[in-house]
């Protein structure tokens, strides 16, 4: 699917830069560009987790309907708002920086609902009524990190700022952006040696995994744009 952000007259157009960028969204780095820039992920929810838990426990100890319970609920809500505001401010700043630098911005069409889907139970064939480990605890931690970084909100803000500035945002299919070698084209899950390193099993090409994915994203975006222009 091809999505162009600028379908109207930009309200605050920026001067063209003739530059394009692919953006890989992640957890360790909130975003990595095809130019090799890593935007750090402060993890606002993770940093505030202890205080949020304390506020939640304090509210639970109060009698529902009482003034103490109402004040505890308001205090908890205020802490959640602070985290949300910090995350939103980060997204606005990062989006503005990227829109100023690049005419074309390419992102993955991430199916976030699928990414945060709960792990399905795995019945144990040898022990009816019992289940095999399904890494549900690890998946829960990953889901929490995905929600904390807020990819969907960032892309939405990026689109709005791009449209305002007369820039273009393109979505590309996320499949194989992380496991297809940019050097030889060999595609395999094993190419992703670790979360941080891409190492091609075909040609030996080794590089930072996030930067490699961002370049693949940019390449896919440019190909999609060229195909759309030729149609």
pLDDT reported for residue 43: 87
The pTM of this model reads: 0.78
Active site residue 148: no
Mean pLDDT value of segment 13-39? 94
Long-range contacts of 33-37 (CB under 8 A, 24+ apart): 33/98, 33/211, 33/214, 34/211, 34/214, 34/215, 34/217, 34/218, 36/208, 36/211
Options 24, 163, 164, 211, the catalytic residue: 24
pLDDT reported for residue 87: 92
Backbone phi, then psi, for 73, in 5-degree steps? -65, -40
Average pLDDT score, the chain: 85
Q: pLDDT for 55-101, tens place per residue? A: 889 898 999 889 999 998 999 999 999 999 999 999 999 999 999 99
pLDDT reported for residue 5: 46
Pick from 214, 162, 180, 147: nearest CA to 3: 162
Q: Is the dihedral of CA 24, 108, 214, 192 positive or negative?
A: positive
Mean pLDDT value of segment 160-178? 94
Options 108, 164, 171, 179, the catalytic residue: 108
Question: What DSSP character marks residue 12?
Answer: S
Active site residue 211: no
pLDDT reported for residue 214: 97
pLDDT reported for residue 52: 86
Whether domain 20-230 has CATH 3.10.20: the reply is: no
Active site residue 108: yes
Whether 170 has a pLDDT exceeding 70, the answer reads yes
Backbone phi, then psi, for 76, in 5-degree steps? -65, -45
Comparing 111 with 96, which gets the higher pLDDT?
96
Pick from 11, 215, 181: nearest CA to 99: 11
Whether 2 has a pLDDT exceeding 90, the answer reads no
Whether 138 has a pLDDT exceeding 50, the answer reads no
Options 148, 163, 210, 211, the catalytic residue: 210
Domain residue ranges in the chain = 20-230
The Cα 142–Cα 118 span in angstroms is 10
């Amino acid at each position: 699917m091809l999505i162009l952000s600028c379908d109207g007259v930009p309200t605050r157009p920026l001067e063209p830069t003739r530059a394009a960028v692919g953006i890989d969204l992640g957890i360790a780095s909130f975003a990595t560009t095809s130019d090799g820039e890593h935007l750090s992920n402060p993890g606002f929810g993770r940093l505030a987790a202890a205080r949020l838990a304390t506020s939640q426990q304090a509210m639970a100890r109060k009698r529902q309907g009482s003034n103490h319970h109402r004040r505890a609920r308001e205090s908890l809500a205020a802490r959640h708002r602070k985290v949300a505001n910090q995350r939103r401010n980060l997204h606005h700043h990062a989006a503005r920086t990227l829109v100023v630098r690049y005419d074309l911005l390419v992102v993955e069409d991430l199916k976030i609902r699928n990414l945060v889907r709960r792990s399905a139970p795995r019945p144990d064939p040898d022990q009816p009524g019992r289940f095999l480990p399904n890494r549900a605890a690890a998946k829960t931690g990953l889901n929490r990190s995905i929600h904390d970084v807020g990819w969907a909100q960032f892309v939405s803000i990026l689109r709005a700022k791009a449209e305002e500035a007369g820039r273009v945002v393109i979505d590309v299919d996320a499949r194989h952006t992380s496991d297809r070698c940019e050097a030889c084209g060999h595609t395999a899950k094993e190419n992703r040696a670790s979360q941080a390193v891409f190492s091609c099993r075909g040609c030996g090409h080794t590089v930072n995994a996030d930067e490699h994915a961002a370049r693949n994203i940019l390449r896919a975006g440019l190909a999609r744009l060229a195909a759309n222009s030729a149609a």
